[in-house]
Amino acid sequence: MSSIKKFSRDFSKDPDYSPSWRANQAFEYRRVHRELITRGEENFVVIPKDENDKYVVDYFSLLVNGVCRYPEVKYAHSCFSTNHSRGFGTKIQAMFLGQKSIEEIAESFKTEKTNIECYLKIFFDVIDYLDCETLIYSIIAPYDRWKETPQDVIASSIWMGLSYSFGWDSSKYILERRLNVTNEISSKLTAAMKNSLELQASEYVLGVRLVNHARPSDFDRHIAYTNALSLSEQMRSGEDSVNGDLFRKALWDGMKEVSSSLSYDDPARQLIGQKENELRDKGKKEIKQLEYFTPQPL
């Protein structure tokens, strides 16, 4: 018989911990069971004598024999197996991370408390680590794995991340696409999205900073940006739209000036040149239109 992998059951003792360790262990026992069946083995025992977790043993029985001793195990498995289409498992996890009690979650699903408890034990055992952000965020946002992460896992991460950060009572309006959003919640989520965009931009800039050498054009961009801010402050008036136009014009002029220091095949220079041509063509069209409608002398 092939060796049986033992999954970590305590994050404090082994950081290779998964909230679904009970399910993983049961699936591992099933794998070995199938292997022995394929080899024609008879009268074998898969479950080790030191396996003392009743949910692992009962879930293994359900996976292999289709029956289990505890009905809540079957309920938990149903949430897991249909999650790709109904999302009940992800919703239970998100609500739990969003500070909802097991009783409240059970009430929202019109089910027994034991069913929710069992699902969490088998598939999302984090009750002892809710205050451990290191573990929770490693579950919500796997380290630099987004390009190879399936879409359903990304969706689950979004649900859990929003709920853990803002609480279920706020995040449910986005996650469940509810229409009755209060102004307070809307403002809170809008501010969070703005901050998130700023963090994403910062992450990009810092990433470039760590892997690329500084260039003269980088200093020129800094000067152009600083000049644009200074001009904006100097020409500030009571009309925000005017001030915004001054800022945009100053920043655009600075970008055009800086782009001349870049090579002709530089993507930034090509993009700026293309935009400048579009603006120039637009100006010509507007002039022609004005000339066409100008009254002519008799």
Q: What tokens appear for 184 in the block?
A: 């307070």
Under DSSP, the state recorded for 148 is: G
Statement: the pTM of the whole predicted model exceeds 0.85: no
Q: What's the N-to-C CA distance of the chain in angstroms?
A: 105
In this structure, are 195 and 218 located in the same domain? no
Q: Last residue of a domain, which of 212, 246, 281?
A: 212
Cβ–Cβ under 8 Å, residues 139 and 19: yes
In this structure, are 220 and 206 located in the same domain? no
Axis crossing angle, helix 267-293 with helix 240-259, rounded to the nearest 10: 130
Residues 56-111 have pLDDT tens digits of 999 999 999 999 999 999 999 999 999 988 899 999 999 999 999 999 999 999 99
In a domain? residue 239: yes
In a domain? residue 14: no
Question: Does residue 5 register a pLDDT over 80?
Answer: yes
Q: What tokens appear for 294 in the block?
A: 């100008």
In this structure, are 199 and 223 located in the same domain? no
CB neighbour class for 207 (10 Å; exposed up to 12, middle 13-18, buried from 19):
exposed
SS3 254: helix
For the chain, what is the domain count?
A: 2
In a domain? residue 133: no
In a domain? residue 58: no
In this structure, are 259 and 190 located in the same domain? no
**Which of 80-89, 130-139, 176-185 shows the lowest mean pLDDT across its residues?**
176-185
In this structure, are 193 and 203 located in the same domain? yes
In a domain? residue 249: yes
User: What is the extent of the structural domain holding 197?
Assistant: 186-212
In this structure, are 239 and 267 located in the same domain? yes
In this structure, are 207 and 217 located in the same domain? no
Beta-carbon count within 10 A of 55 CB: 20
In this structure, are 244 and 279 located in the same domain? yes
Mean pLDDT, range 184-207, rounded to an integer: 81
Nearest 5°: phi and psi at 262?
-90, 160
The answer for residues whose C-beta is within 8 angstroms of residue 154's C-beta and 6 or more apart is 146
Query: What is the rounded (10 degree) CA torsion for 172, 85, 69, 38?
Result: -140
Q: Which of 136, 52, 123, 58 is nearest to 97 (CA)?
A: 136
In a domain? residue 281: yes
The angle at the Cα of 53, spanning 48 to 59, to the nearest 5 degrees, equals 90
In this structure, are 229 and 274 located in the same domain? yes
In a domain? residue 130: no
Rounded (to 5) percent helix, strand, coil in the chain: 70, 0, 30
Question: Does residue 148 register a pLDDT over 60?
Answer: yes
Q: Last residue of a domain, which of 194, 212, 230?
A: 212
Is the pLDDT higher at 58 or at 206?
58
Question: Does residue 290 register a pLDDT over 80?
Answer: no
**179 — pLDDT class (breaks 50, 70, 90):** low
Amino acid 289: pLDDT: 46
Q: Percent of the chain, pLDDT > 70? A: 85
In this structure, are 278 and 217 located in the same domain? yes
In this structure, are 204 and 253 located in the same domain? no
DSSP string over 166-201 = H-HHHHHHHHTT-S---HHHHHHHHHHHHHHHHHHH
Amino acid 251: pLDDT: 67
Beta strands in the chain (DSSP E): none
**Dist. CA 136–CA 101, nearest whole Å:** 17
In a domain? residue 145: no
Q: Last residue of a domain, which of 195, 212, 229?
A: 212
Residues 216-272 have pLDDT tens digits of 777 777 778 777 777 767 666 555 544 556 666 666 777 777 677 777 777 777 877
Report CA 9 to chain centroid distance, whole Å: 26
